[in-house]
Structure 1
């Protein structure tokens, strides 16, 4: 089929095309005798077709002597049935124009009367190439060809709506002089340009957008990211555990009020029970103690203050009721084991390191989240720019579609060109939809890092990043990056803290292998005061020796009775002058007479005290528990040393790879920019060639796609460069400093002290 979709018209027009000799090109009028014409016609007769195997072969032919030597190829089956005919001199008509030429390039030369007709066009010969008539090789006898009758074939009447599909006759008779044969063009109407495919995304409101810079995205992520919240709570948990362990050093106040009432039997005549035989006692006790464990030195001190009021029914007490108070200080101070470190201080010091480790973990998680936000942000920037690039590519294909439809409708292009442009347009629309999907994926990734609540209204908003990718042609210094990584990497800091934890365990277990020597002591003072017992002392004067009435109950009265009876027997007078006695309460010291105030005065006068000092010595014979724990701590120290070396190597490899990635991305950006510029120049040149008919739609599409790919590679290189910078910041742990982020310690340093 020809470029116009009319095979018959194309073959006829190509059969009417003539070869212009050298004299025609110089502008001279050709002249030839009838003999020359007949001779040329005889020479231009094709050789008969020998067999089917040689019909597809090609062979070189040449013109006669005296003409320029031209080598060409021709199919044997095309030349075997060509019927030469002598055309009358006439001017070239529009019907004789080559149908494969673009509009505006018609030949204006006149055809000389002696010119030979062109053979059928070779489909493998480029347009505009002149092919001479095939000749019989030397030594081959050509049988005489039968001449058809010299009759003029009537011109077929082509229809305007149905193109001819009958192949041209191999013995087509050229039109007579003055007859014009028009090509058969089908009636084609230009189709409208297909609309741009819908770029609406599921669950996203295109009218509600959220402009976002990189710093704002990082701030939102630090405030709302769920992983950051988990890491922050880990620090808080470690902080509370430290507070709990430090509570062992808090002073403890204990107050114990008590009432004690007792009735006990007493059979001793000195128990003061009297005739009832029981003694009732009621005590009111108010005891208070303050205990304090000291972190420095490991000592334990207890202060006590006890108060008692006692009332009794016993008759043998001098004061009733009475108040007694006691205060004192008891202490236990380790002198060898547990003096520099004990179990409580070991746990507190280890938890302090755990808290710092949780802070390092929080910083590590924060750096990782910031790095993820940066990568997601630049991925979204690339996806949006790629989508715009694909939209421009689709619009360019739509413009080509419009031009192709106009060209086909005008008859300047074949309808087959429609399929080519439709295929290209569908391919570019498919690439646009894929780019739109990539925008959704990148946007959702960034929203996952920024949003806390899955029901937040921001999920339906369109994120519009406002920052452009940065680029710096200055290469990075590897040594500086390695130094910063060794100083700032949280992983290295965490291993150093783990080594410090191991040092604490070594110190504690080594201390536990020593004997225990504790200094103990007690210092106590007492106070006592009360009301004198008035029921046991009478102030009425009474005889020193009772009379005869009490002789049966009182020994002194019995002795006085016996003495008087003896005196009467001797004729003496009885003893009647018995002295009297008046008892008093002056036997109780005055400092013990009073109420609770007198008791406290006696207590703080330190007139009554007690001091006790002693030493407790404990010597274990084997102490295998402490020795095994010490050996375990030493093994863990060797393991930590190996882990530290491995982590340092990992950090160095990570930094080296990150620096190399930045350097590679930097070079890619430079080369991608050059490639994009070259692709633009190539496309501009291809468009100029296409406008003058020296290029095809296929080559133009290739140049356009090459430009789109070059621009995408440039966008990808710029995005990879910024992502590589983010990864280098993570590798050197300078992400916080580069983004002006300050993380405070969870607990002030002064609270870490013992």
Structure 2
């Protein structure tokens, strides 16, 4: 079961999902024709810097300041005081300027820094596994009545444990647990000191002086290194020079030196590369999770921007409908006033015409305010800042209208099961969960190892050297057999003339072992919990794909019905207009027919917008958003997108 869960849909056949026969949709997702825009230069790499200067290790590394300037693409899209946008241009601008993506880009070097930390034996700090959704608009995400999961700054996974840490309803407090891991970075230690001591004595028997004075110079240097097998080696060297005023000391000064080489190797708990490299393996998997999460962020941002774009198109087209309605109402009012002047109609008809103009003006005012707000939301999603007051108030005109794309696009869908299998192989949520399961396997193996008793093989080998000059104050007449200089003491330390060594076992057996046993069992429970989540995600993806298909079918039906209703309303309006000209109908009848036509046109705009957004959702549910929009993750990482902009019309 676990094997199947960790390879979700990888063997599923990939089929062509959507075929759009209209040229208008190709224009909606393809780069705009015209002058080629040079992509902005990629941002400065944010990876941890490396230097051949050994002192750089002890100096802080600075991160380049964030770029908060808009890309030059937005200036190239300004024509005669209007920002003209195609869907492809909007997506390209979002990849270059959207702040959600700018925030998410930092997660990749953060994960790489975690790898560097764990290479030295440190525990993982965790990586971001959520989607940043702070940009308002696009189905109300991030601040306008949104209750969508994941809104906010995204979730950060737990590191090496911690009470109650978790994500997506999962407990992962044992992630990274196990035996302690020593630092793999070598440690160099040293100390030096000069000491003087004066000690009054009660008699002359032991030292031959009433007051003993000692002067000593001491130095110690040490080196320690741990390895991924659990082995720790250490080396220590000590040197000492001591002088005294005691005549009973045969050497004055006395020169001592010694070294000690030690090794410690765990044999049960903490043995091998598995438990000792678990942090590094988890960090590398977290880097993969970070890569997948960034791609998921790109998909989320593109989906949001596409929804914003079609909302803008809807507001733009609805405003045009309201403009035409007001124009006809004004024409009707002018005609009515002329007829009233000729006493051809009663004054009440003109009053009704004036009321219709007032109503149309109110509708147009509302439509204009909605359009302005949608323009602001779009500019906010496509810029790093809106400090330029000209840009903030600049109108935005969409060049890909829903009327063109929705009327001619005919979609041929592959069988549902093929689409679902393709979605299961594409969806990044399953890939992230699969990698997370691998991390849990690593932690589970480490926790199992920590159940074992601690049995360590220890060994030491050392040597001692002695040198010094004969004390001239000594009255014993003893002749020294040791070298007189420090060089002799140093040589004797390493020539095995006075070796010290031992080999042994250190055993630590915890009785009952309840803490380790509890962690081990909890790790098993958490792994099972994560596996169930994978199955839940697979079911959720199936539901999302089918729901997106149903929504698209419903949207197509609504577009067809709304188009037919608009055509009938147009015919009715034409008939009532002709009847009015022939005297068989009144201006009020024509106005009512025009109102019905305006309502039908607005309903058609809303239906086409829902159709376009349903198609965007189907792309997201299947996992083809990037392919269908010609976006590469590599370009999104550096914030560049090769595209073209519409050349200004002569």
Superposition TM-score, scaled by structure 1 size: 0.57
Distance 1:736 1:312, change over 3 A: farther
Give the secondary structure class of the aligned counterpart of 2:318: helix
What is the aligned partner in structure 2 of residue 210 from structure 1?
83
Q: Distance in 1 between matches of 2:239 and 2:526?
A: 55
- Given candidates 328, 337, 361, the residue that maps to 2:269 is 337
What is the aligned partner in structure 2 of residue 742 from structure 1?
633
What is the aligned partner in structure 1 of residue 358 from structure 2?
426
- Given candidates 431, 444, 469, the residue that maps to 1:493 is 431
Instruction: Determine if contact 1:307/1:326 at 8 Å carries over to the other structure.
Output: yes
Q: Distance in 2 between matches of 1:241 and 1:488?
A: 27
Give the secondary structure class of the aligned counterpart of 2:330: helix
| 2:187 matches 1:252 | yes
Q: Distance in 1 between matches of 2:635 and 2:317?
A: 38
Q: CA deviation at 1:211?
A: 3.5
Distance 1:390 1:348, change over 3 A: same
Instruction: Determine if contact 1:476/1:663 at 8 Å carries over to the other structure.
Output: no
- Given candidates 405, 410, 414, the residue that maps to 1:473 is 410
Instruction: Determine if contact 1:304/1:329 at 8 Å carries over to the other structure.
Output: yes
Instruction: Determine if contact 2:275/2:449 at 8 Å carries over to the other structure.
Output: no
Instruction: Determine if contact 1:287/1:306 at 8 Å carries over to the other structure.
Output: yes
Q: CA deviation at 1:654?
A: 1.1
Give the secondary structure class of the aligned counterpart of 2:633: coil
Instruction: Determine if contact 2:85/2:399 at 8 Å carries over to the other structure.
Output: yes
- Given candidates 588, 593, 603, the residue that maps to 2:481 is 588
1:275-316 per-position Cα deviation (integer Å, ceiling 9, x unaligned): x2444332222212222232x222222222222233333445
Of 422-431 and 390-399, deviating more is 422-431
| 2:231 matches 1:288 | no
Q: CA deviation at 1:521?
A: 0.8
Q: Distance in 1 between matches of 2:401 and 2:333?
A: 34
| 2:521 matches 1:631 | yes
- Given candidates 235, 256, 259, the residue that maps to 1:324 is 256
Give the secondary structure class of the aligned counterpart of 1:622: coil
Kindly report which structure 2 residues correspond to 1:81-160, keeping only aligned pairs within 5 A, or say none. Answer: none
Distance 1:210 1:528, change over 3 A: farther
What is the aligned partner in structure 2 of residue 522 from structure 1?
460
What is the aligned partner in structure 2 of residue 261 from structure 1?
196
Give the secondary structure class of the aligned counterpart of 1:514: coil
| 2:440 matches 1:502 | yes
Q: Distance in 1 between matches of 2:196 and 2:259?
A: 24
1:467-495 per-position Cα deviation (integer Å, ceiling 9, x unaligned): 43444312333345423432343433343
| 2:242 matches 1:310 | yes
Q: Distance in 2 between matches of 1:611 and 1:474?
A: 82
Q: CA deviation at 1:379?
A: 0.6
Q: CA deviation at 1:234?
A: 6.1
Kindly report which structure 2 residues correspond to 1:531-570, keeping only aligned pairs within 5 A, or say none. Answer: 531-534=469-472, 536=474
Q: Distance in 2 between matches of 1:214 and 1:527?
A: 82
Q: CA deviation at 1:594?
A: 2.7
| 2:312 matches 1:380 | yes
Q: Distance in 2 between matches of 1:738 and 1:331?
A: 60
Give the secondary structure class of the aligned counterpart of 1:308: strand
1:514-563 per-position Cα deviation (integer Å, ceiling 9, x unaligned): 2222111112234444445455599xxxxxxxxxxxxxxxxxxxxxxxxx
Q: Distance in 2 between matches of 1:452 and 1:618?
A: 59
| 2:304 matches 1:369 | no
What is the aligned partner in structure 2 of residue 147 from structure 1?
none
Distance 1:341 1:621, change over 3 A: farther
1:384-405 per-position Cα deviation (integer Å, ceiling 9, x unaligned): 1211121122112222222222
Q: Distance in 1 between matches of 2:454 and 2:333?
A: 98
Q: CA deviation at 1:649?
A: 1.4
1:29-86 per-position Cα deviation (integer Å, ceiling 9, x unaligned): xxxxxxxxxxxxxxxxxxxxxxxxxxxxxxxxxxxxxxxxxxxxxxxxxxxxxxxxxx
Distance 1:481 1:285, change over 3 A: farther
Q: CA deviation at 1:354?
A: 5.3
1:579-612 per-position Cα deviation (integer Å, ceiling 9, x unaligned): xxxx997x635xx2334x4444444444443332
What is the aligned partner in structure 1 of residue 601 from structure 2?
711
What is the aligned partner in structure 2 of residue 393 from structure 1?
325
What is the aligned partner in structure 1 of residue 232 from structure 2?
300
Q: Distance in 1 between matches of 2:88 and 2:223?
A: 55
Q: Distance in 1 between matches of 2:497 and 2:553?
A: 88
Instruction: Determine if contact 2:250/2:478 at 8 Å carries over to the other structure.
Output: no
What is the aligned partner in structure 2 of residue 723 from structure 1?
613
What is the aligned partner in structure 2 of residue 618 from structure 1?
508
Q: CA deviation at 1:335?
A: 1.0
Instruction: Determine if contact 1:291/1:302 at 8 Å carries over to the other structure.
Output: yes
Kindly report which structure 2 residues correspond to 1:566-581, keeping only aligned pairs within 5 A, or say none. Answer: none
Q: CA deviation at 1:722?
A: 2.2
Larger radius of gyration: 1
Q: Distance in 2 between matches of 1:744 and 1:301?
A: 47
Give the secondary structure class of the aligned counterpart of 2:253: strand
Superposition TM-score, scaled by structure 2 size: 0.66
* Equivalences, count: 490
Q: Distance in 1 between matches of 2:490 and 2:86?
A: 75
What is the CA RMSD across the aligned residues, in angstroms? 3.7
Q: Distance in 2 between matches of 1:456 and 1:526?
A: 77
Q: CA deviation at 1:669?
A: 3.8
Distance 1:305 1:745, change over 3 A: farther
Q: Distance in 1 between matches of 2:419 and 2:356?
A: 48
Instruction: Determine if contact 1:318/1:588 at 8 Å carries over to the other structure.
Output: no
Q: Distance in 1 between matches of 2:388 and 2:521?
A: 56
Q: Distance in 2 between matches of 1:704 and 1:354?
A: 61
Q: CA deviation at 1:671?
A: 4.9
Q: Distance in 1 between matches of 2:636 and 2:304?
A: 24
Q: Distance in 2 between matches of 1:268 and 1:456?
A: 93
Give the secondary structure class of the aligned counterpart of 1:249: coil
Distance 1:662 1:375, change over 3 A: same
